[in-house]
Amino acid sequence: MNVGTSFHSIWNRSLRKFGLSRRNAGLSLVEILVAVTIFSLLIIPVISMFNQTSRAGMRTKEQMMAANLAQEKIEEYRSIGFAKLQKKLDALRENGLIYYDKSEAPVPGFQEFSRQTIVSYFPEMNPPATNAMAFKRIKVTVEVTWKPGRMDLDKSYKLFTILADKTPYHGVQPPF
């Protein structure tokens, strides 16, 4: 028995089983066009979803980078300590300034990000003695800005912390 013959006989029996003959076993052009149209309509949303997921991932990456750059600068100022920051602010106050401002554009190592740091007394230099929270505080604010992808609008991320003097002021002991 020839292998080719047995395959054809099995094929022909299978076609007859489903009511088909060898003559009408193929697909017509209309059937192929309908199948391609249905496939196209189903695949377009899937491709669109991949594109949107990719863009969302890029936005998240940029926001995380901005948050890390802001946190890095906050930690830098926290490590300086209250006393040294107070001396710097008092020296600026003698020159008529009430805050310290430092801009970095671009942030070293991150060309698409810029960072601005503002250091000031919070809420004022000498809080009133009647205030139960009468101790000096310094506010450090860091704002990171960037221009995402091909967009014209800048995005920003702002983070701040408050540093407090741990020595009594106006005879009131801080609660920490």
Q: pLDDT higher for 19 or 109?
A: 109
Is the pLDDT confidence value at 176 over 70? Answer: no
Q: For the segment 59-69, what is each residue's pLDDT rounded down to a tens digit?
A: 899 999 999 99
Measured CA to CA, the distance from residue 76 to residue 70 in angstroms comes to 10
Q: Where are the domains of the chain?
A: 61-164
pLDDT on residue 100? 73
Hunting for tokens 């860091």 — which residue is that? Answer: 142
pLDDT on residue 175? 52
| Chain-centroid distance, C-alpha 166 | 35
pLDDT on residue 2? 54
Mean pLDDT of 112-128: 80
